[in-house]
Amino acid sequence: MKLAAIDIGSNSIHLAIVRATPGQHLEILDREKEMVRLGAGTLTAHRLARDTIDRAVVALRRYKQLAEANHVDRILTTATAAVRESSNSVEFVQRVRKEVGLEVHLLPGIEEARLIALAVSEVTDFNGRRALIMDIGGGSTEFIIKGAGEPELLLSIRLGAVRLTEKFVTTDPISLEERERLVANIRADLARLMWEIKRVGYDFVIGTSGTIVNLVDAALQAERPEEDVSDFEAFSPTASLEQIKKVNIRLALMKEEDREKVPGIEERRADIIIAGGMLLETILVEAGADSITSCDWSLREGVILDYLRKHEAEPRFSDWRREADISAVSSGSGLHDAEEQPPIEAGQSDVRTKSVLSVARRYDYDEPHSNLVARFCREIFEQTRSLHGMSEQDCKLLEYAALLHDIGYHIAPNNHHRHSLYLIKNSEMPGFTGHETAIIANVARYHRGSRLTGTMDGKARREHEDFKALSKKYRRQVLRLAAILRIADGLDRPHRQTIQGVSCEISKDGVTFNLSARGECDLEVWSAERKADWFQKFFRVPVRFVVQPSASVEEEESSRAVIAP
């Protein structure tokens, strides 16, 4: 099912086109944004100007054409502060209906907050914590406090980047006097609301909307560590309050034409980013928060999720019919009977696992093979901790890479390991940092093939550019995890799940991999032996593989012996 959501905001009009498939995250097919500035003048005059409506109609007509070109099943259109506060909102809605063919639904501030919370909840792991979610729009800011259940607090206040800019900012660069007056007014307007937020309490802060995303990006780009991985963006970047303060000071000293060139700040947001930045900083200070995590999912995704949940007969994004908890199928050690392992079905799954499985299913992964390889990875990892000394977090990244290692077949069998890296790298994976995505992608890429050496030519070195982009610390982590994945993948080379379990014995002579098999497995053993070279090199131990027939095979042989003449 394809759906489109159009959000008519005070600053921008947004379009999101998605594919909703049971068992997968919403697949974002297209996103567009046009800064129509419906709130310009409207938020003070409380009336939409004719030329402003004209611009909005042009943008909406274009968005409808884009949605129809994508053959969407339904277009969901909503409007927020600028339209709902306008005395001629009915005129606007009727004109859009007549000239564009879209039905615009005006959202009250509290309903806007609820839908934002719905979207954020789908891509955030709360882990028993309570989040303060905020969305700074052009005309209003919404606040939600939410844990794993329903929202505990929904608030909306008439403070936004466009509204504050029009009311308080007249100088460029902003004068110290105007800046102080701006902050004082924000603090006064927030007083009652902050009391409510502190009364309910929260553990961490999440921010949506372009203003917050821009400020967090700008703050992080200004202080990007050397080990940051190029081209692997975090789905939910986090900036500290101090970083937000630094970027605000920097922006406040600039003229608008200079702010347009600041990395992370959209050119057409440069005129309102001062007020938006001071609003964000003041909220964090008054709420007693020391950091904020930005989130790309917001009102548009919330509108789609809400629609899907209300239409039971249609595919529902939240209906994880094939949801998985990787740990439920891959934990444990010793020899296992593969047929006794619970399938990847309807477990209690976190956002990260949902993200991985969503990508895997989107690219038609070989589920039995990938699940078995993921289980082998955990068994080997857990039983060789004394060799590698890696953490449980490393093990989880290894399992995620195992589930995704073969998705490159979706593009082509040839060089599928490189295709897997490309698909992971360019997939939306909520819950992961840029570094984690880079590690998963590179581990999956090196489940086969050679590694980068100093003697490679230019073409070969280009094929390893994503690995080269990693810091030395992360390169080492990738190679060690890939060494385990290569063996695990080799143990099911024919994709027939003949080997059912692996138990590792570490001695002074090296590591012995005891394999439980339900039939002839010469090909699997040969493949694992070939792919064990990295394990031997990086962990500095010899390895050998010993096949131990499973109990079912032994019983079958015993039965045949009894009835033999």
- Domain extents for the chain? 2-107+301-310, 124-296, 326-554
Buried/exposed code over 102-131 (b: 16+ C-beta within 10 A; e: otherwise) = bebebbebebbbbbbbbbbbbbbbbeeebb
- Asked whether 344 and 466 are in contact (CB, 8 A), the reply is no
**How many CB atoms sit inside 10 A of residue 447's CB?**
25
The topology (CATH level 3) of 124-296 is Nucleotidyltransferase; domain 5 (3.30.420)
Pick the closest to residue 207 from 80, 110, 292 (CA basis): 292
Alpha helices in 142-272 (DSSP H): 161-168, 176-200, 210-222, 241-252, 256-259
Residue 446 CB partners (closer than 8 Å, separation 6+): 417, 467, 478, 479, 482, 485, 486
Say which residue the tokens 């890296």 belong to. Answer: 421
User: Which token pair is 223?
Assistant: 């202080």
Q: Where are the alpha helices (DSSP H) in 40-122?
A: 42-45, 50-69, 81-84, 89-99, 109-122
| Residue 311 pLDDT | 82
Write down the CATH number for the domain with range 2-107+301-310: 3.30.420.40
Rounded distance, CA 504 to CA 94, Å? 71
Burial class (CB in 10 A: 0-12, 13-18, 19+), 191: exposed
Pick out the chain residues at pLDDT < 70: 225-231, 312-349, 452-461, 550-565
**Three-state DSSP string of 500-531:** EEEEEEEECCEEEEEEEECCCCHHHHHHHHHC
For residue 228, the model assigns a pLDDT of: 55
Predicted pLDDT at 41: 82
Residue recorded with tokens 């490159």: 408
Region for 30 from its dihedrals, namely left if φ exceeds 0, alpha if ψ lies in -120 to 50, beta otherwise = beta
**What are 5's strand-pairing partners?**
16, 76
Amino acid of residue 100: V
Residues with Cβ < 8 Å from 184, sequence gap 6 or more?
Answer: none
Q: How many CB atoms are located within 10 Å of the residue 166 CB? A: 21
> How do 238-240 and 291-294 pair as beta strands?
antiparallel
Identify the three-state secondary structure at position 266.
coil
Homologous superfamily in CATH for domain 326-554 = Hypothetical protein af1432 (1.10.3210.10)
Sign of the alpha-carbon torsion through 504, 478, 26, 220 = positive
pLDDT tens-digit map of 62-97:
999 999 998 999 999 999 999 999 999 999 999 999
Confirm whether 2-107+301-310 and 326-554 share one CATH topology.
no
Q: Among 551, 546, 542, which Cα is nearest to 518's? A: 551
What is the rounded CA–CA span in Å between residue 279 and residue 188?
12
pTM of the entire predicted model: 0.77
Distances (CA, A) of 365 to 368, 374, 408, 495: 9, 13, 9, 12
Amino acid (1-letter code) at residue 563: I
Name residue, tokens 């909840």.
121
pLDDT tens-digit readout, 154-193 = 999 999 999 999 999 999 999 999 999 999 999 999 999 9
